[in-house]
Amino acid sequence: MQARKQSHQGRAGKFRDRLNRFWQRITEGMALNQLWAQFRSDARSSYRLYSKEVDSTRVAGTTRGRHALNVASQFFWAVIEKITPARRVLLLLALVLILFPSGGVSWSGQAGRVSFSIDFHFWGGLLMFALLILEVGDRVVMKRDLQIAKEIQAWLLPADPPQIQGLDIAFATRPANTVAGDYYDVFARPASGGESDTFLIVVADVAGKSVPAAMLMATFQASLKTLSATPGSLTELVSRMNQYACSNSQNGRRFTTAFLAEYSQSSRTLTYVNAGHNNPILRRHTGAIERLQAGGVPLGIMQEAPYQSGTVRIDAGDWLVIFTDGVIEAENNAQQEYGEERLLVMLHAGVALTPAMLLNTIMVDLDRFTGDAPQHDDVTCMLLKAG
């Protein structure tokens, strides 16, 4: 009896171990609250995707029932038009079988010798599962391609900031999707005579996100590297960048906001052009705040747009914060924005830190503010501190 009990307990223990391994593999070790938060985030993202094509405005004279039916119809078509025609037919057939009132039909021959039964619910579920397998296959292929694109994009961005005398730099980016439309870089701009003490500082944001924005970001990076190697002032460089961007902006629909600056180590001066970008924050060692706004319109809107440059001196203890709108427009679940005021508070409170430490503090505060709310836009921030 004792041996049988131990054998039963052993089998039960093995079953629990298998069940636990299965659950860990399914959930990847996530807790239930994390799974629920992820589901809510996915549900919100899907709803935003489909609801863009739904007009929920109630027409005067339309009853509530009729209006609800109209909205449901629009939502149905917004969903079904996202898949191929062949899969639409498969989906409709599956829905018809699942919703069949009796759930199946049966037939028996004479004397009960022949019996035939069809369970429509079963076959409808099987068709739905087949449709799921097809969609998952597409998602796996797309995810693999996006992962490759992410690796390529990582090659285009600097892993670590360069060593610049008298200037400490830190930067970070978080894409809203697998790939991003934000770009940042700091690199030496060669002088006509050879060696140069001038560094080019760039933060840019392509309109949109995901793959289309990432592709234009790559063209922006390539054109910047090429054009910056040619002689000319910063305004001339920005003008040439704008002309190139206009040829790839789909008549201004795919514009790029950018902040470009040249920093001279010898004179400690920063010459900049703000092409429609969020005004960077220059915090003086005295605590005074200046905004760098001289420049012009975003790149890719007007072929012959004029650009002006501004010049400031960077003294010891000064901070420069360059960011994209994904930072200050990040929202929490109450649809409140992070805002520049909160960013300024973090800057004032962290002036004694290094740029890397303060940047990490800002990112942690941003996560604390947004919570489990979905990220709507790419987030990029660059901090520079003069020593």
**What distances in angstroms separate CA 69 from CA 56, 63, 65, one per listed residue?**
11, 10, 6
- Bridge partners of 379, per DSSP, are 174
Q: What is the pLDDT along the chain (387 residues), one digit of tens a residue?
A: 666 666 666 677 788 888 888 888 888 888 888 888 778 877 777 777 778 788 888 888 888 888 888 888 888 888 888 888 988 888 889 888 888 776 555 555 555 545 556 778 888 889 999 998 988 888 888 778 777 777 777 788 888 888 888 899 999 998 887 777 889 999 988 765 455 788 999 999 988 777 778 888 888 888 999 998 888 899 999 999 999 888 876 666 788 999 999 999 888 999 999 999 999 999 999 999 999 999 999 999 988 899 999 999 999 999 999 999 999 999 998 889 999 999 999 999 999 999 999 999 999 999 999 987 888 888 999 999 998
pLDDT score for 115? 54
Where along the chain do its domains lie?
Answer: 161-386
Determine the Cα–Cα distance for residues 189 and 192; give it in Å rounded to an integer: 10
pLDDT score for 155? 80
Phi-psi sector, 33: left (phi>0), alpha (psi -120 to 50), beta: alpha
Name residue, tokens 């052009």: 273
Determine the Cα–Cα distance for residues 44 and 307; give it in Å rounded to an integer: 41
Amino acid 66 reads R
Residue 1 tokens read as: 């009896």
Helices (H), 254-373: 325-328, 339-349, 355-370
pLDDT score for 283? 96
Longest dimension (CA), the chain: 105
Query: Per residue in 246-282, is it b (16+ CB within 10 Å) or e — as a string?
Result: beebeeeebbbbbbbbbbbeeebebbbbbbbbbbbbb
Residues 295/272, Cβ–Cβ less than 8 Å: yes
The architecture of the domain spanning 161-386 is: 4-Layer Sandwich (3.60)
Q: What is the tens place of the pLDDT at every residue in 307-316?
A: 999 999 999 9
Residue 185 tokens read as: 């870089």
Residue 52 tokens read as: 């863009």
Q: What is the tens place of the pLDDT at every residue in 326-342?
A: 999 999 988 899 999 99
Residues 153/215, Cβ–Cβ less than 8 Å: no
Residue 91 tokens read as: 């989906």
**What distances in angstroms separate CA 167 from CA 105, 183, 268, 325, one per listed residue?**
79, 20, 9, 24
Which DSSP helix (H) or strand (E) runs through 21? helix 2-27
Q: Which residues contact 305 (CB under 8 A, 6 or more apart)?
A: 239, 242, 296, 297
Determine the Cα–Cα distance for residues 303 and 142; give it in Å rounded to an integer: 35
Name residue, tokens 């140069």: 196
**What distances in angstroms separate CA 360 from CA 43, 181, 365, 372, one per listed residue?**
29, 21, 9, 19
Residue 39: Cβ within 10 Å count = 10
Residues 200/180, Cβ–Cβ less than 8 Å: no
Residues 78/48, Cβ–Cβ less than 8 Å: no
